[in-house]
Amino acid sequence: MSTVRRTLLLAVLVAAAGGLAFATGAAVVDGPADTFAEERLAVQPVDGPNGAYAYLDDDDEIVVDVSGSNPKLPSDFDGVNPGTLASADGVFTITYTADEYARVWIEHPEENVTFVADGESIEGEANNVTLAPDETVAIGLEVDARGAVAGTQLGGDDFDIRAQVADPESVDSASTADEGDGDGGDGPVTTVRRPAPASRAFEGRGLSPGGVVTFDAGAMDIVSGVVTLDRVRIDAADGGDVDFETVGRPEPFASAGPLNDSRGAAPVGYFEFDHSFAGDEVSRVRFSVSVDRDYLNETGGDPDDLSLYRRAASEPDGWERLETERVDPAVRRLLDLPEDRVHVTASTDEFSVFAVATERPRIRATDASLDREAVDPGASTVVRATVANEGGSDGASDVTLTAAGEPVATQRVELGPDETASLAFEATFDEPGTYDIAVGGVSAGTLAVGDPAGDGDEDDTASVEGGTDDGGTAAPDGDASDPPTEEPSGIGPSNLVGLAVFLAIVLASVALVRRMPRS
């Protein structure tokens, strides 16, 4: 069952306000619409007087607004008269475009407001309206203001549009035509030719300009039953005829090569879209793909992270990630899709080779730094790092601080795509030395602990050279070439001998001078 919640504004009751107009209307899916259930249900304001009570907001979602705030109503409209039972037929339409019958109803908690179709309540499953393919129902309003006084606020709650496939009823449609002569009468005819387990050839004949047609790919294999292409929807800009082929395989196509995504997406299969139409003849193609849940579990993929990629040489990685939508359980039940598979859709206006992939987290350190580059033994320093998730899905990872390649501490981070986190590690080293510090493999620098160049424990003295006159001993290894050490006084024994000889010469000279005859 599919559900879509939309806004109801039934604002203020004011005396002398104009009553709701009475008119009927109907619409087809032509122009902007509020769509859901893979765009097989379309909601539009009626093109008529009462259609002014509904409009599409900036997100193309239907708003029912019977108040002075409605931009489509006259500026002097203030609301609904108190004490009246006002009604408006044909405020908006719901159109069903799929190939099976569907039951449609609305749920709304406000007792003063009733949604009606052909004057009968359409609120609650018991009051549903059954729609055939391409059938439209006009939805109106009844507002019971009896007993209310001017200024009373009514409504304001959201309302839910609910739909469910009317199983087991089904109808034949041109979109399921067998191979034939292509004569489909007034509507488009689609044909599947040369079906094989991993390939299909499609033909579409008689498409109207701006029309949309869905081709049933019949669960074409991309990876042997576990990954399949289920439907291809064509938006024909010019109408006429279209022809294309699809081929699936688990390995990359030689023409495109493997999916190399810097964000870490893991490919699970590929398919090729080969077409003969010109690019301006088709404005958009939507692919519907499904993957077996057990297969995802076995390969470590998350159902929420299933994505489609298109080969695009202009992209930095060579692949463009398409905006991929997961079909929610309510829509899956509406379309009667298998519950044991994950169903996704993606649209593109360019066509080449496509990859089905699961997004993966890619968490890594991007930089690291030291608060101090030198500390005493036993003192601590702080190591800071920035960690980023560069992948396409949520994830968790352990980030490790290492010193000289050995793990010192670990912190765990959980990050969403494109999120970052700042980490701080406090580390203490008791042994002197130098340590290369890193976080997650990213260098933070070199940390010096103590004074590894000279700690004062080595004997800096050396013996003098062996065999000298001063009686000095040789170096321990017997190497006489080692220089002798200096005496602390600065005057060695050899200097004292020379001084004694000098004094003896001086004294002898003095004595000789005294003995010389005097003139």
- List, for residues 153-192, the tens digit of each pLDDT value: 555 567 888 888 764 333 333 333 333 344 444 567 888 8
Model pLDDT for residues 253-309, shown as the tens digit of each residue: 999 999 988 888 999 999 999 988 876 788 889 999 999 999 998 888 888 889 999
Average pLDDT over residues 485-495: 45
pTM of the model: 0.54
HSE (side-chain half, CA atoms, 13 Å) at 330: 10
Please report the pLDDT score of residue 334 as a whole number.
Answer: 65
Residues 272-300 as b or e (16 or more Cβ within 10 Å = b): bbebebeeebbeebbbbbbbbbebbeeee
Task: Report how far residue 352's alpha carbon sits from residue 256's, in angstroms, rounded to the nearest whole number.
Answer: 9
Q: Does pLDDT of 510 surpass 60? A: no
User: For residue 92, which of 63, 59, 129 has the smallest C-alpha distance?
Assistant: 63
Task: Report how far residue 368's alpha carbon sits from residue 355's, in angstroms, rounded to the nearest whole number.
Answer: 36
Among 120-134, 220-234, 252-266, 419-433, which is the least confidently predicted range? 120-134
Among 16-20, 171-175, 283-287, 345-349, which is the least confidently predicted range? 16-20
pLDDT-derived band at 29, boundaries 50, 70, 90: low
Which of 24-38, 79-93, 304-318, 439-453 shows the highest mean pLDDT? 304-318
Strands 319-321 and 306-311: antiparallel
pLDDT-derived band at 505, boundaries 50, 70, 90: low
Average pLDDT over residues 322-338: 80
Q: Does pLDDT of 441 surpass 60? A: yes
User: Fold identical between 34-166 and 363-449?
Assistant: yes
Please, what is the average pLDDT of the chain? 77
Q: Does pLDDT of 232 surpass 90? A: yes
pLDDT-derived band at 406, boundaries 50, 70, 90: very high
* Domain 363-449 CATH (choose: 3.30.200.20, 1.20.1560.10, 2.60.40.10, 2.40.50.360): 2.60.40.10
Q: Does pLDDT of 5 surpass 80? A: no
Q: Does pLDDT of 477 surpass 60? A: no
In percent, the amount of the chain with pLDDT more than 90 equals 32
**Domain parsing of the chain, residue ranges:** 34-166, 189-358, 363-449
User: For residue 202, which of 186, 217, 183, 220 has the smallest C-alpha distance?
Assistant: 217
Q: How many CB atoms lie within 10 A of CB 177?
A: 18
pLDDT-derived band at 152, boundaries 50, 70, 90: low
Residues 448-479 as b or e (16 or more Cβ within 10 Å = b): bbbeeeeeeeeeeeebbbbeeeeebebbeeee
In percent, the amount of the chain with pLDDT more than 70 equals 72
Average pLDDT over residues 463-472: 35
* Domain 189-358 CATH (choose: 2.60.220, 3.30.70, 3.40.50, 3.90.1200): 2.60.220
Please report the pLDDT score of residue 194 as a whole number.
Answer: 78
Average pLDDT over residues 310-319: 92
* Domain 34-166 CATH (choose: 2.160.20, 1.25.40, 2.60.40, 3.40.50): 2.60.40
